[in-house]
């Protein structure tokens, strides 16, 4: 029989034991964790995701990440509208971090002294201390390291939460991202059968609230602090001026359109830290969708549009069956087309006439 300690250390694990780690009422102390293998991961900017195993190899480990907070102006639309962005690791959204259930996620958060504000991080995947927010507040010139155990599988938002009105302001300035905690034995369909993805894309959706001048033009500010009063007024109206994927209207189109091939299965992780959204793949579907993003629940099948609650991340698995250009949108089409929440997939492969064909091209109406 396994001792808890052996299970946690992954010394004599069987696959069955691995699967039950999350459910065991084990309490590891710091010394136990110290004995675990450690893995250092370099994060990559969205929509890409760092290399990871879909099925865990071996037992739990400590996965180390480092993120540097960057306050910097970013352009958020084709008109050159500027956001005084606050970013995790320089991107909006912050990068997706992938671990397995039972792993420990260890983040070093750096707030360089070139920044002007204090920041922290609240992991929805973590338990206690306001998601870690209470233990991670760093002033410019400081860094902090937090470790939490990934006890629940699924996709989870993280965001800055430095208290009071600073919380929504930092979030709508770009400070959010997501964590994906995979089951140790990987994803499963509604019947419990393993499913795999060939590609993964992480789409973070942001709502921005840019103040306008008396002529209706978007205002530009020297620094984040300068825009606070004006921005709060727009925020309190609850109507965003921009709703975008990956930090900017059009950022996932053209050269940056996401790619796939017919027959490939993709996993799209979609997060929104602040506001409800409803992703839809135009011309495609969600074969298996974890709307709430939590992999312990069976996925819904064959969805046309799925609902991502503000403050959560969901995941949709889809195998492309037809080549072409697909638009991936927030299916509030006003937000998609007018406010910016549209992305594209270019999908190469052979056309299937059985699934669709134009029987007759447009012509004059037969009289």
Catalytic residue numbers read 119, 122, 124, 159-160, 170, 175, 280, 304-305, 331
Work out how close the CB of 351 gets to another protein at its nearest, in angstroms, rounded to a whole number. 4
Whole-number Å distance between alpha carbons of 287 and 303:
7
Query: Which residues 6+ apart lie within 8 Å of 240 measured at CB?
Result: 172, 207, 208, 209, 275, 335, 339
Work out how close the CB of 222 gets to another protein at its nearest, in angstroms, rounded to a whole number. 21
Which residue number, 15 or 78, has a Cβ lying nearer to another protein?
A: 78
Q: If residue 230 lies in a helix (H) or strand (E), which one and from where to where?
A: helix 224-236
Determine, following the binding rule CB under 8 A, whether residue 246 of this chain makes contact with another protein.
no
User: Could you tell me how many residues of this chain bind another protein (CB under 8 A)?
Assistant: 35
Q: What part of residues 296-355 is at the interface with another protein (CB under 8 A)? A: 322-325, 327, 329, 337-338, 342, 344, 346-351, 353
Q: What part of residues 178-217 is at the interface with another protein (CB under 8 A)? A: 215-217
Task: Calculate the alpha carbon distances from 25 to 6, 82, 151, 186, 197 in Å.
Answer: 14, 49, 11, 22, 31
What backbone phi and psi angles, to 5 degrees, belong to 200? -130, 135
The residue whose two tokens read 């606070």 is: 228
Task: Pick from 51, 164, 362, 366 the residue near another protein by CB under 8 A.
Answer: 362
Which residue number, 227 or 342, has a Cβ lying nearer to another protein?
A: 342
Which residue number, 190 or 351, has a Cβ lying nearer to another protein?
A: 351
Whole-number Å distance between alpha carbons of 205 and 201:
13
Which residue number, 30 or 355, has a Cβ lying nearer to another protein?
A: 355
Work out how close the CB of 304 gets to another protein at its nearest, in angstroms, rounded to a whole number. 16
Which residue number, 21 or 329, has a Cβ lying nearer to another protein?
A: 329
Determine, following the binding rule CB under 8 A, whether residue 364 of this chain makes contact with another protein.
yes
- Assess contact for 287 and 302: CB atoms under 8 A: yes
Determine, following the binding rule CB under 8 A, whether residue 282 of this chain makes contact with another protein.
yes
Work out how close the CB of 218 gets to another protein at its nearest, in angstroms, rounded to a whole number. 11
Burial of 349 (0-12, 13-18, 19+ CB in 10 A): middle
Work out how close the CB of 209 gets to another protein at its nearest, in angstroms, rounded to a whole number. 20
- Assess contact for 170 and 119: CB atoms under 8 A: yes
Enumerate long-range contacts of 77-82, CB under 8 Å, 24 or more apart: 77/242, 77/244, 77/248, 77/249, 77/250, 77/340, 78/249, 78/250, 79/218, 81/210, 81/218, 81/241, 81/242, 82/218, 82/220, 82/221
Work out how close the CB of 323 gets to another protein at its nearest, in angstroms, rounded to a whole number. 4
* Contact pattern from residue 70 through residue 109 relative to another protein, giving x for each residue in contact according to CB under 8 A and a dash for the rest: --------xxx-----------------------------
Which residue number, 288 or 326, has a Cβ lying nearer to another protein?
A: 326
Determine, following the binding rule CB under 8 A, whether residue 1 of this chain makes contact with another protein.
no
Strand partners, 149: 104
Contact set with another protein (CB under 8 A): 78-80, 215-217, 250, 253-255, 257, 282, 322-325, 327, 329, 337-338, 342, 344, 346-351, 353, 358, 360-364
């Amino acid at each position: 029989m396994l001792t808890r300690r052996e299970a946690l250390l992954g010394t004599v694990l069987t696959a069955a034991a691995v699967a039950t780690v999350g459910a065991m009422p084990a309490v590891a102390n710091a010394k136990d964790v110290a004995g675990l293998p450690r893995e250092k991961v370099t994060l990559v900017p969205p929509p890409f995701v760092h290399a990871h195993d879909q099925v865990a190899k071996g037992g739990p480990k400590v996965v180390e990440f480092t993120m540097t907070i960057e306050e910097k102006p970013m352009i958020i639309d084709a008109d050159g509208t500027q956001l005084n962005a606050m970013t995790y690791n320089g991107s909006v959204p912050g990068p997706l971090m992938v671990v397995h259930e039972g792993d420990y996620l260890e983040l070093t958060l750096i707030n360089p002294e070139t920044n002007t504000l204090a920041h922290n991080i609240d992991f929805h995947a973590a338990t206690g201390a306001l998601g870690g927010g209470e233990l991670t507040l760093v002033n410019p010139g400081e860094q902090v390291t937090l470790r939490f155990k990934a006890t629940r599988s699924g996709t989870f938002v993280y965001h800055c939460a430095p208290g009071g009105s600073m919380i929504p302001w930092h979030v709508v300035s770009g400070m959010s991202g997501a964590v994906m905690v995979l089951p140790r034995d990987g994803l499963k369909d509604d019947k419990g059968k393993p499913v795999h993805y060939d590609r993964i894309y992480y789409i973070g959706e942001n709502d921005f609230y840019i103040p306008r001048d008396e002529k209706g033009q978007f205002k530009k500010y020297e620094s984040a602090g300068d825009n606070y009063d004006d921005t709060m007024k727009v925020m309190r109206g609850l109507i965003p001026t921009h709703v975008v994927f990956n930090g900017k209207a059009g950022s996932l189109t053209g050269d940056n359109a996401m790619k796939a091939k017919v027959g490939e299965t993709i996993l799209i992780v979609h997060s929104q830290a602040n506001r409800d959204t409803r992703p839809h793949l135009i011309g495609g579907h969600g074969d298996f969708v974890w709307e709430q993003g939590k992999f312990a629940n069976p996925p819904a099948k064959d969805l046309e549009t799925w609902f991502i609650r503000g403050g959560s991340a969901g995941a949709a698995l889809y195998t492309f069956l037809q080549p072409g250009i697909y638009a991936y949108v927030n299916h509030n089409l006003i937000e998609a087309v007018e406010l910016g929440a549209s992305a594209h997939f270019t999908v190469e492969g052979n056309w299937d006439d059985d699934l669709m064909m134009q029987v007759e091209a447009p012509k004059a109406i037969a009289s």
